[in-house]
A and B are shown apart, each in its own frame.
Chain A
Amino acid sequence: MSSSTEADHGAASSDDAAVAGAREKASAADRGAGSGPAAGAPPPAGPGAERSVPRWRRSLRPYLLIVPALLLTGGILYPFGLGLYYTVFDFAASKPQPDFTGLENYRRIFTDSSFWDSAWVTVLYAVGAAAVETVLGVAVALLLHRSTLVGRVLEKVLILPLMIAPVIAAIIWKLMLQPSVGVVNYLLRPFGLGGVQWTDTPTGALLSSIAVDVWVYTPFVAILALAGLRSLPTSPFEAAAVDGAGWWFTFRKLTMPMLWPYVLVAVIFRFMDSLKVFDIIYALTEGGPGDSTVVLQIRAYLEAIRFQRYSFGLSYMIVLWAVVYLAAMVLVRYLGRIQNRAAEVPK
């Protein structure tokens, strides 16, 4: 945080006490960036204009700027609170006059084996997707970092899958993975694997949906890891090369520890997003075959939207939200520790 003022004092004091030389800096920036007052803009309000604004109004200013954002935040938090409120009733389309049921919905969920099945599938999906994307993404970043001609050409198209909507990606792979007419089995036929039932077996369906996730999001990890690699200091690597350190040693002892803060940001994003996966599963398997790919958000969708048991479906979401929130707190704290440690390393 670079705050120009002392905390809670508004803009009053430091606006007046401008830093010497700021003027030259400002005009230099005007020339450099072509910024500053536009031609034909109204002239400044006059000397000391800012000082004539009463102090109380100046200290109120940050709050005024934030008000619209607060209103909107409220507009999002209200439905969330409403959802939380619904879960202690038995609100459903079949029951427009709901009764207060307390924690009954939650008791039902936790004693219901299908909740634990869904939770298990969700965890498998999130861990699987995040792990594969991390390994593959870092590998791709390392290969691109060598900056050969091939790499430079390919890097231009690296983001392509990432910009395709996940639901569209799932549709694309659904067409490709059709067992009888899909192109994947056609290409595998020479290898004697022409009849794989990709999305028609429980294991296959889960692996296929993870594969789609990997296809879309590996570039995400690769982009962040590549940015990390390019910002690492070069001297440790030069020293290692002089000492004749092997590639594996350098990677383990130098590259990975320094790169980890960058990769960790990507891992956190991917893990948290995979916990709430919806689009890919919806378009690829709709939770099938059986219940084998019904992750928690799909389960909530089926309960609340398809069967219109609003309260019960929402209870699933509140539980998932709590899990995601806790996971976020733990991971972000860990990230903070890692980044602090990285900051201590002299560059």
Chain B
Amino acid sequence: MTKRQASTRPKGALKRRVLGIAADGALILYFLFALFPVVWMVILSLKPGHELFSTYFSFTPTLDSYRTVLGAGEDEGVPFVRFFLNSLVVSLGAVGLSLVIGLPAAYAAARWRFRGSENLMFTLLSFRFAPELTVIIPLFVLYQQLGLFDTYLGMIWVLQLVTLPLIVWIMRSYFADLSPELEQAALLDGYTRKQAFFRVALPLVKPGIAAVSLLAFIFAWNNFVFPLILTSSQAQTVTVGALSFLGGDRPKYNLTAAAALVSVIPPLLLALTIQRYLVRGLSFGAVKS
């Protein structure tokens, strides 16, 4: 350590501190942009109707909007609770069906190379990137003929476009990460292939299955274009239902805000539980953290 270097050190430290504060400031700015809209929704949803447009931040909070939205929407004619339950049914159904169909397929694709397996995987992936209406418009016509229009079954079927590629691709990457030796040892111990899959491979990828199921559920829940076109009232979901309060000549902002908030609660709660698995899930297994 020479004298000259010693004398420049405080200066460098000061510069670093200023830069550090500036960087933190920039982060806080971004997060203000990211979080303020949600905070503002909370504020709007707590405002009484007569103070909607007269005030911004000072008002008497009330839970009236939530009562209206969740009170079967009697006075508004919007059965929001029903939409909420519909979302729950079709999302759970879509994820369940995708798991039953997707887990064996993902396992086969990870453990064997056979003719057509790669083609099938890429066909599945292309579903993920296909513009939805390419399939929905024909389904709109087809569902009317088959009686699947505005039904749970019709929605669960079409949501496979969202959930199946995700589950198969990510689970294949989990199965591929699993050492095949474990299953071979089980086979040596006298297990059949089926037993080896159910009792050795499957339990080991349980965390992956849980995470990918939740992520698939979130995407199914957040889908809008399928229920918009393929349901009308019986099987309509929250994403479409949330728009109903904006209709009419006097859009009800406070009700819209309350409906929007209620509809994002499930995906947000689930997202908090799978933070660790998000990277692999969001990138379809392309990026592993």
Interface residues of A (CB under 8 A from B): 1-5, 7-8, 10-11, 14-15, 18-19, 21-23, 25-27, 29, 33, 35-38, 41, 44-50, 53, 58, 61-63, 65-66, 68-70, 72-73, 75-77, 79-80, 82-83, 86, 136, 139-140, 143-144, 146, 148, 150-151, 154, 156-169, 171-176, 181, 183, 186, 215, 218-220, 223-224, 227-228, 230-231, 262, 265-266, 269, 272-273, 275-276, 278-279, 282-283, 296-297, 300-301, 304-305, 310, 313-314, 317-318, 320-321, 324-325, 328
Contact = CB atoms under 8 A, between A and B. Distances in A.
Nearest to B168: A69
Given A143-B30, A159-B271, A321-B131, 15 more contacts: A7-B114, A18-B187, A19-B181, A22-B182, A23-B185, A23-B188, A38-B203, A49-B192, A172-B260, A223-B278, A223-B282, A265-B286, A276-B132, A296-B131, A324-B130
Contacts of B260: 168, 171-172
A12 B60 CA distance: 73
B283 A143 contact: no
Contacts of B181: 18-19, 21-22, 25-26
A277 B176 CA distance: 33
B24 A160 contact: no
B242 to A, nearest CB: 6
B112 A62 contact: yes
Contacts of B35: 157, 160
29 contacts: A2-B110, A8-B114, A19-B184, A21-B181, A22-B184, A33-B203, A37-B199, A44-B189, A44-B191, A62-B108, A63-B108, A69-B102, A80-B130, A83-B138, A148-B20, A163-B267, A164-B264, A164-B267, A165-B221, A168-B242, A175-B257, A224-B279, A273-B129, A278-B225, A304-B133, A304-B140, A313-B133, A317-B133, A328-B126
B202 to A, nearest CB: 9
A151 B26 CA distance: 11
Given A4-B180, A165-B239, A321-B134, A75 B157 contact: yes
B151 interface: no
Contacts of B135: 76, 79-80, 83
Given A2-B110, A168-B260, A172-B41, A18 B184 contact: yes
Interface of B: 20, 23-24, 26-28, 30-31, 33-35, 37-38, 40-41, 44, 52-53, 56, 100-102, 104-105, 107-117, 120, 123-124, 126-127, 129-135, 137-142, 157, 160-161, 164, 168, 176-177, 179-193, 195-196, 199-200, 203-204, 206, 218, 221-225, 228-229, 239, 242-243, 246, 253, 256-257, 260, 263-264, 267-268, 270-271, 275, 278-279, 282-283, 286-287, 289
A166 B223 CA distance: 8
A8 B282 contact: no
Contacts of A171: 242-243, 246, 256, 260
Contacts of A45: 190-192, 195
Contact of B275 (A11, A48, A159): A159
A139 B246 CA distance: 36
A4 B111 contact: yes
A38 B199 contact: yes
B6 to A, nearest CB: 17
* A-B interface, 6 closest residue pairs, ranked by CB to CB distance from nearest: A4-B180, A165-B222, A26-B185, A69-B105, A65-B108, A276-B131
A26 B186 contact: yes
A15 B287 contact: no
B232 to A, nearest CB: 12
Contact of B123 (A1, A19, A65, A73): A73
A150 B225 contact: no
A61 B117 CA distance: 13
A167 B104 CA distance: 34
A11 B193 contact: yes
Given A168-B260, A321-B134, A228 B56 contact: no
Given A151-B24, A160-B268, A80 B31 contact: no
A33 B185 contact: no
Contact of A278 (B116, B126, B132): B132
A29 B222 CA distance: 38
Given A70-B120, A160-B34, A269-B283, A150 B28 contact: yes
Contacts of A305: 137, 140, 229
A37 B196 CA distance: 9
B115 A8 contact: yes
Contacts of B253: 175
Q: Which of A37, A186, A272, A313 has the most CB of B within 10 A?
A: A37
Nearest to B190: A44
Contacts of A279: 224-225, 239
A159 B279 CA distance: 11
B131 A1 contact: no
Given A18-B188, A23-B188, A146 B120 contact: no
Contacts of A224: 279, 282-283, 287
Contacts of B141: 82, 310
Nearest to A35: B203
Nearest to A283: B243
A180 B235 CA distance: 36
Given A18-B181, A143-B27, A304-B137, A228 B287 contact: yes
Nearest to B279: A227
Contacts of A139: 26, 30
B214 to A, nearest CB: 11
A1 B175 CA distance: 10
Contact of A73 (B124, B183, B218): B124
Contacts of B124: 69, 73
Contact of A63 (B38, B114, B203): B114
